[in-house]
Amino acid sequence: MDTFKKTESEIRPALTSLSDEEQMFREAVRDFSTSEIAPLVSQMDRSQELDAGLLPQLFELGLMGIEIPEEFGGAGSSFFTSVLVVEEMSRTDPSVATLVDVQNTLVNNALGRWGSDELKAHYFPKLASEWVGAYALSEAGSGSDAFSLRCRATRDGDAWVLEGQKLWITNGSEASMFVVFATVDPDAGYKGITAFIVDRDSEGFSVGKKEDKLGIRASSTTEVILNAVRVPDGNVLGEVGKGYKVAIETLNEGRIGIGAQMVGTAQGALDHTLRYVKEREQFGRPIVDFQGVQFQLADAATELEASRLLVYNAARLKDASEDFLVPAAMAKLHSSRMAQKVTSLCIDLYGGYGFTTEYPVEKFYRDSKIGTIYEGTTNMQLQTIARVLLG
């Protein structure tokens, strides 16, 4: 039995605010996820590896270059469309959605906003057609304290030499280019941070250990090692010493993508559970007939829809060039908490079966945990919101 076969939720999200193009993207991703991704989910989770046949299809559908301008081979669409794609894909497999999310909301966004015309002309066509990108900020001693970097960049003529190590780099196994953050002056603190674009085949660059994770196991998370890697001066992203702005502003956008992941993850678990509660019988009748079960499902659907609207609002504000700092933090905060709560409930409603790998809800539960950690922990989101509230 293919326990990951998609089912339609009877709690359907409001679609009245979607344009024809956005609705088209949503439906295309739903069809693709159902037919191509769903049959592979279990095996990819066990092998901790993305199926090699999926990547070409993701590029062919235009899902790896959603905001890349059409002149460079991209879809030329909006940030909100990227969010819809990530949400919809997460309903089937948050691991594949993570790869697409990082490509669009972090790598492509950073290049689009901070890259020179030359960098865009060189990298955008590759990112739209065949290259996966990765975002290399974190290090062993810099998690929430993102700017306590030890990775060094030293000028050498018309180039920079990078030395150091990066950890927990999503897409590390698949990526052909990396946005790497290093300090050009440790004494300058965050004002020494600079962002560089580094090709995987650069001499001295290597991808190290792959992490064995609790959830999103088919999404690669790796170490990156920089051993005297020479990077042309033209590959500086933004300005020297302004990497902190690249990182902060890109991560603010990325948090909306994480919110979309969590909404899709919870929706996927709820989809399966709404079907199962009609099939599972206790005391001679389906458990869906019990008011206690009905009320729990109603609560879950309400919390899920609240998270969805927070995510959509933040994405719309970003596209409108309005201030979205607090809405993005709220969207990630609420959706990551909600996803853990909803997926946990789904396991409870499955009973003992929910605790086994034969059914899909345990995977959604495992996949939900990362939402409170990456691209800013729960405490960091609370700090952001409180700081603005308190002026």
Q: What is the 3-state secondary structure (H, E, C) of 157-188?
A: CCEEEEEEEEEEEECCCCEEEEEEEEECCHHH
Helix (H) or strand (E) holding 101: helix 94-101
Task: Note whether 104 and 257 are within 8 A (CB).
Answer: yes
Best CA proximity match to 216, nearest among 382, 45, 347, 377: 45
Best CA proximity match to 136, nearest among 175, 79, 187: 175
Query: Phi and psi (nearest 5°) for 232?
Result: -60, 150
User: What does the block give as tokens for 268?
Assistant: 């996927």
Interatomic CA distance for residues 225 and 9, integer angstroms = 44
Interatomic CA distance for residues 109 and 250, integer angstroms = 7
Best CA proximity match to 361, nearest among 4, 79, 81: 4
Helix (H) or strand (E) holding 41: helix 41-47
DSSP for 256-316, written as a single string: HHHHHHHHHHHHHHHHHHHHHHHH-EETTEEGGGSHHHHHHHHHHHHHHHHHHHHHHHHHH
Dihedral (CA of 303, 305, 308, 313) sign = negative
Query: b/e map of 279-302 (b: 16 or more CB within 10 Å)?
Result: ebeeeeeebbeeeebeebbeebbe
Best CA proximity match to 72, nearest among 110, 22, 111: 111
User: What does the block give as tokens for 121?
Assistant: 């002309």
Best CA proximity match to 131, nearest among 102, 93, 166, 174: 174
Q: Which amino acid, residue 29?
A: V
Task: Note whether 44 and 50 are within 8 A (CB).
Answer: yes
Catalytic member of 67, 139, 253, 375 = 375
Please confirm, yes or no, whether 253 is among the known catalytic residues.
no
Place of tokens 């497999």: 93
DSSP code of 115? -
Residues designated as active site: 375
